[in-house]
Amino acid sequence: MKNRRIFLQKAGLSALALNLTPLNPLWALNEENIMNVAEDKPLRVAIMGLGSYGTRVANAMKDCKRAKLVGVISGTPSKIEAWQKEYGIPAKNCYNYETYHQIKDNPDIDAVYVITPNGLHKEHAIGVANAGKHVICEKPMAVNAKEGKEMVDACHAARVKLLVGYRMHFEAKTQEVIKMRMNGDFGKVLFFQGLSGFVIGDPTQWRLNYELSGGGAMMDIGIYSINGARYMIGEEPIWVTAQETKNDPVKFKEGVDETIQFQFGFPGGAVASCLSTYSMNNLDKFFLNGTKGFAEMQPSTGYGPIEGRTNKGPLTNPHVTHQTTQMDEMAAIILDGKKPLVPVDGEEGLRDLVIIDAIYKAVKTGEKVGLV
């Protein structure tokens, strides 16, 4: 789209230079009109995985300006039928997990949002990429860094974009704090605290099944503190230490973590202290401290509204449904080549997976694990 826009702009300027009169007034496009043409084109999205979060994304997309829900992929026929009625999805854009590779022959779908269990992300994302469609994958991008790297490589080979569902990267109050840090309003950043947790319910759900989840709380809620430490401090950690607490080994079986405390060190000297848990409520808080000021957000990563304050006063940015903003911004990234304030690409997702691997290693060994 960007190249096409540049071509049209150059073509229009050349015509003006030669004082040529267009044969058809439709060709009389100035730069503003060309931009409007680009921005009018929606990103046509199919959602893979029609569970509770897939439903949340679909409902949020009703208010999108650049992204449009046009297809579904599910293993449950009744869900497909219900979504067809609710969202006006044509039968030709409906697939199951055996047939979704056929989207390769469907020009009406641009991208697929993979919202299946973590353990299926790699298979589904690579399948979508091989079908020639852009991939949006819910976080964590995979169950470990090895699988994440395979996903990044597959999408690169297929020449499609791989984006990860980091909705907080687009949230207004979060962006305000990041911009303040970038502008030096907090001075030298010294400390970050991230608390992420809730009491998980149904013990039979896939999130407590190691084969499908790849872990426990860390692979669900803990990633918010990992990712948050990185974008709030603005650096990549160079070491990690971690300790696990498990009070209910029946509910939280081998490989499924209940509670992990973890600490990071950063090259600029800042440290982070974080908690990830499936056994405590009221834990959704970020705190950033620097030599000149601070930022405190609570709730910091829930569906909103986010609340927060800094040394300069309360954060007052209006609340917009996170997934609505996320999908519109991702449409701009894919269609227009827009560069986000904080990356949401596969490399960003891979960095979190490398850190998660290191946290689990630190838990097992009891040692400080270096990150490169």
Token pair of 28 as six digits: 């009389």
- pLDDT given at position 38: 53
Active site residue 303: no
- pLDDT given at position 40: 77
Is residue 131 domain-resident?
A: yes
Is residue 339 domain-resident?
A: no
Burial class of 346 by CB neighbour count within 10 A (0 to 12, 13 to 18, 19+):
buried
Q: Do both 159 and 175 map to the same domain?
A: no
| Residue 221 identity | I
DSSP 8-state class, residue 194: E
Is residue 330 domain-resident?
A: no
Residue where a domain terminates, one of 110, 137, 164: 164
DSSP 8-state class, residue 330: H
Q: Do both 51 and 123 map to the same domain?
A: yes
| Three-state SS sequence of 254-298 | CCCCCEEEEEEECCCCCEEEEEEECCCCCEEEEEEEECCCEEEEC
Is residue 177 domain-resident?
A: yes
Q: Within the chain, how many helices (H) and strands (E) appear?
A: 11, 15
Q: Do both 279 and 181 map to the same domain?
A: yes
CATH number reported for the structural domain that contains residue 202 in this entry: 3.30.360.10
Tens-digit pLDDT profile for residues 24-58:
433 343 444 444 445 679 999 999 999 999 999 99
CA distances for 64 relative to 33, 68, 137, 329, 344, angstroms: 21, 7, 18, 10, 18
Report the number of distinct structural domains present in the chain. Answer: 3
| Helices 52-60, 322-336: crossing angle, 10 deg rounding | 70
Which is the catalytic residue, given 122, 139, 161, 285?
139
Rounded-to-integer distance, Cα 349 and Cα 353, Å: 7
Contact 324, 219 (CB under 8 A): no
Q: Do both 6 and 63 map to the same domain?
A: no
- pLDDT given at position 372: 78
Model pTM?
A: 0.90
Q: Do both 216 and 157 map to the same domain?
A: no
Contact 189, 231 (CB under 8 A): no
- pLDDT given at position 348: 98
Q: Do both 50 and 158 map to the same domain?
A: yes
Is residue 333 domain-resident?
A: no
Tens-digit pLDDT profile for residues 237-260:
999 999 999 999 999 999 999 999
Q: Do both 76 and 111 map to the same domain?
A: yes
- The range of the structural domain enclosing residue 5 comes to 1-40
In the chain, which stretches have pLDDT less than 70? 1-39
Residue where a domain terminates, one of 141, 164, 187: 164
Q: Do both 361 and 290 map to the same domain?
A: yes
Q: Do both 224 and 292 map to the same domain?
A: yes
Is residue 327 domain-resident?
A: no
Q: Do both 366 and 243 map to the same domain?
A: yes
Active site residue 224: yes
Tell me how far the alpha carbon of residue 223 is from its chain's centroid: 11
DSSP reduced 3-state for 156: helix
Rounded-to-integer distance, Cα 156 and Cα 85, Å: 36
- pLDDT given at position 39: 61
* Interior/surface letters 215-228, b for 16+ CB within 10 angstroms, e for the rest: bbbbbbbbbbbbbb
Rounded-to-integer distance, Cα 73 and Cα 50, Å: 8
Residue spans of beta strands (DSSP E) within 109-159 = 111-114, 134-137
Rounded-to-integer distance, Cα 110 and Cα 331, Å: 10
Residue where a domain terminates, one of 149, 164, 179: 164
Is residue 262 domain-resident?
A: yes
CATH number reported for the structural domain that contains residue 141 in this entry: 3.40.50.720
Burial class of 234 by CB neighbour count within 10 A (0 to 12, 13 to 18, 19+):
middle
- pLDDT given at position 252: 98
Which is the catalytic residue, given 166, 224, 231, 360?
224
| Helices 172-182, 222-233: crossing angle, 10 deg rounding | 40
Q: Do both 10 and 74 map to the same domain?
A: no
Q: Do both 30 and 49 map to the same domain?
A: no
Is residue 209 domain-resident?
A: yes
Tens-digit pLDDT profile for residues 183-228:
999 999 999 999 999 999 999 999 999 999 999 999 999 999 999 9
| Residue 199 identity | V
- pLDDT given at position 192: 99
Rounded-to-integer distance, Cα 120 and Cα 230, Å: 26
